[in-house]
Amino acid sequence: MECLLTIEIDALSKTYITKELTPFLYNLKNKSHFSDLETNLTFFEYIDSFTGLYPEETGAFSTFYHDKISTYNWLRYFRFLDNIDTKFTRFIINGITNLGRLIKGKNNFVSISRIPIKKAHLFDTVINKQICNTNSIKKETLFDLLRKKEIKHCYINLPFISKNNENKYIFGLSDEKAIKSAIKTLKESYQFYHIYLRGIDDLTHYYGINSDEVKNRMNQIDKLIEGLVTKFNNKYNLKLMIYSLHGMIPVTKTINILELLDKSDLKENEDYVIFLDSTLARFWFKNKNAKEKIIQTLNNIKEGEILTKDRLRKYKIDFKDNRYGDLIFLVKPGILILPNYFQGNNLVKAMHGYVPIKELDGVFIYNDKNTRYKKINRQNITKIYGSILKSMNL
Ligand SMILES: [Zn+2]
């Protein structure tokens, strides 16, 4: 039976694929279609890869947008929690929030990360369902197509596993667990698999691009994948696609946007609402004065730029409404906004979410038994969608 196995290794960089570090991937790369993958300016790269569409077409760009109806509305009454803000407090908030979401059919778990608790009710989440489920976004996804064509598929993004749109949750998030879960399904039969491996992304943020921690882990991941592929090869006539949707850039400098805004006499939430991603500061204005003053402040920051209409169009994030902000400020590659609502005050060593320069490229490897292999020119991550359809003759 034919099967396409797709594996996303989050933040896998081409530089990690070497004979010494990752012999399996290295050999595979040399006998496969291979290309560099241009990333997109988004934090939802996987949606671009499963639809073939850009952020402005799918509506997915950053995890949170400003909305009056928020997942975190209940926190309005718990603002005092900012005074006892510990890891445990946030663990409980995430538990309660996700339970409430699940009851409403929102099975895409979210984390409040480091959003100040008193501000959380101002923001809601963009993606509420797992991408492999029906009506996950307004556009047709790969998984909609698989359902339409009655192609058996299995999607593993721990703690979530979906088999032909039937969902379950397991304990554990590790890449070992993800691969074990995939091997367990070999009793059943699927024509399409997707396995998401998150560990390298986490480690690279924390330890940095060329750290021993990341390199050692890559060596282990290589062995895990080799084991998995061997087992799949024994059962299936296997086609294999391994990719990453972005790389990382070392963080060289941080900027404190909140501090710069403090110098103006504007009042947050009365004059403007702000959301701080790691690389973006997004603003919603409540009056003209606030808009003018904030633009003035941002224009003086040389580590970034206000995204003009031209730039928004270029990066395909020119949304029809202002859900992501009346104004978006983007920092230059290597700059980190700190504090921000994901890392809080914690400095990380590497980041993504910048304009798609080559250093941020992901990688694409495709192997089946009937093709003569070649190096393909650099392509955008949206092309993965077409490659999957072509591989499965869809
Ligand atoms: Zn990341």
Is 272 domain-assigned?
yes
Q: How far is the CA of 297 from the centre of ligand 1 (A)?
A: 28
Is 24 domain-assigned?
yes
**pLDDT for residue 73:** 85
133 and 236 assigned to the same domain: yes
Ion ligand 1 neighbours, Cβ < 5 Å: 201
272 and 320 assigned to the same domain: yes
Is 25 domain-assigned?
yes
Residue 244 confidence (pLDDT) above 80 = yes
Q: How far is the CA of 189 from the centre of ligand 1 (A)?
A: 32
Task: Identify the CA nearest to 71 among candidates 36, 106, 40.
Answer: 106
Beta-strand relationship, 64-66 and 123-125: antiparallel
Mean pLDDT over the full length of the chain: 94
Q: How far is the CA of 144 from the centre of ligand 1 (A)?
A: 27
Task: Identify the domain boundary among 86, 105, 125.
Answer: 125
**pLDDT for residue 255:** 97
**pLDDT for residue 259:** 93
Q: How far is the CA of 198 from the centre of ligand 1 (A)?
A: 9
Residue with tokens 């998030």: 173
Q: How far is the CA of 197 from the centre of ligand 1 (A)?
A: 12
> What is the pLDDT confidence band of residue 373, given thresholds at 50, 70 and 90?
confident
Q: What is the Cα Rg of the chain in Å?
A: 21
> What is the pLDDT confidence band of residue 187, given thresholds at 50, 70 and 90?
very high
Q: How far is the CA of 351 from the centre of ligand 1 (A)?
A: 7
Between CA 204 and CA 282 the distance in angstroms is: 25
Residue 381 confidence (pLDDT) above 80 = yes
Q: How far is the CA of 164 from the centre of ligand 1 (A)?
A: 28
Between CA 338 and CA 103 the distance in angstroms is: 35
201 and 300 assigned to the same domain: no
38 and 181 assigned to the same domain: yes
75 and 208 assigned to the same domain: no
Q: What is the rounded end-to-end Cα distance, in angstroms, of the chain?
A: 16
Q: How far is the CA of 246 from the centre of ligand 1 (A)?
A: 9
**pLDDT for residue 44:** 96
**pLDDT for residue 87:** 87
**pLDDT for residue 70:** 84
**pLDDT for residue 105:** 86
Q: Could you read off the pLDDT of 345-360 as tens digits, one per residue?
A: 999 999 999 999 999 9
Say which residues have a Cβ less than 8 Å from residue 68's Cβ, sequence separation at least 6: none
**pLDDT for residue 264:** 86
Q: How far is the CA of 308 from the centre of ligand 1 (A)?
A: 26
Q: How far is the CA of 203 from the centre of ligand 1 (A)?
A: 9
* CATH number where 324 lies: 3.30.1360.110
> What is the pLDDT confidence band of residue 82, given thresholds at 50, 70 and 90?
confident
Mean pLDDT computed over 162-174:
92
Q: How far is the CA of 305 from the centre of ligand 1 (A)?
A: 22
198 and 183 assigned to the same domain: yes
Q: How far is the CA of 327 from the centre of ligand 1 (A)?
A: 24
Between CA 13 and CA 338 the distance in angstroms is: 25
Q: How far is the CA of 286 from the centre of ligand 1 (A)?
A: 32
CB neighbour burial string for 105-123, b if at least 16 within 10 angstroms, e if fewer: ebbbbbebebbbbebbbbb
* CATH number where 364 lies: 3.40.720.10
Q: How far is the CA of 247 from the centre of ligand 1 (A)?
A: 9
Is 103 domain-assigned?
yes
**pLDDT for residue 72:** 86
Distance set, CA 96 to CA 67, 68, 78, 91 (Å): 20, 20, 13, 9
Peptide linkage before 159 cis (omega within 30 of 0):
yes
- Other C-beta atoms closer than 10 Å to the C-beta of 278 total 22
> What is the pLDDT confidence band of residue 81, given thresholds at 50, 70 and 90?
confident
Mean pLDDT computed over 118-128:
91
76 and 120 assigned to the same domain: yes
Is 322 domain-assigned?
yes
Q: Which domain holds residue 218?
A: 2-59+128-248+358-391
Q: How far is the CA of 224 from the centre of ligand 1 (A)?
A: 21
Q: How far is the CA of 151 from the centre of ligand 1 (A)?
A: 31
Q: How far is the CA of 140 from the centre of ligand 1 (A)?
A: 26
> What is the pLDDT confidence band of residue 220, given thresholds at 50, 70 and 90?
very high
Q: How far is the CA of 205 from the centre of ligand 1 (A)?
A: 7
Q: How far is the CA of 201 from the centre of ligand 1 (A)?
A: 5
Is 352 domain-assigned?
no
45 and 148 assigned to the same domain: yes
pTM of the model: 0.94
Between CA 72 and CA 84 the distance in angstroms is: 18
**pLDDT for residue 83:** 81
Among the residue ranges 36-45, 335-344, 349-358, 371-380, the one predicted with the least confidence is 371-380
262 and 320 assigned to the same domain: yes
Q: How far is the CA of 350 from the centre of ligand 1 (A)?
A: 9
243 and 330 assigned to the same domain: no
Residue, of 136 and 85, whose pLDDT is higher: 136
240 and 376 assigned to the same domain: yes
Number of domains in the chain: 3
Residue 201 confidence (pLDDT) above 80 = yes
**pLDDT for residue 75:** 85
Q: How far is the CA of 315 from the centre of ligand 1 (A)?
A: 19
Mean pLDDT computed over 235-257:
97
Mean pLDDT computed over 373-383:
92
Between CA 329 and CA 339 the distance in angstroms is: 15
**pLDDT for residue 69:** 80
**pLDDT for residue 369:** 80
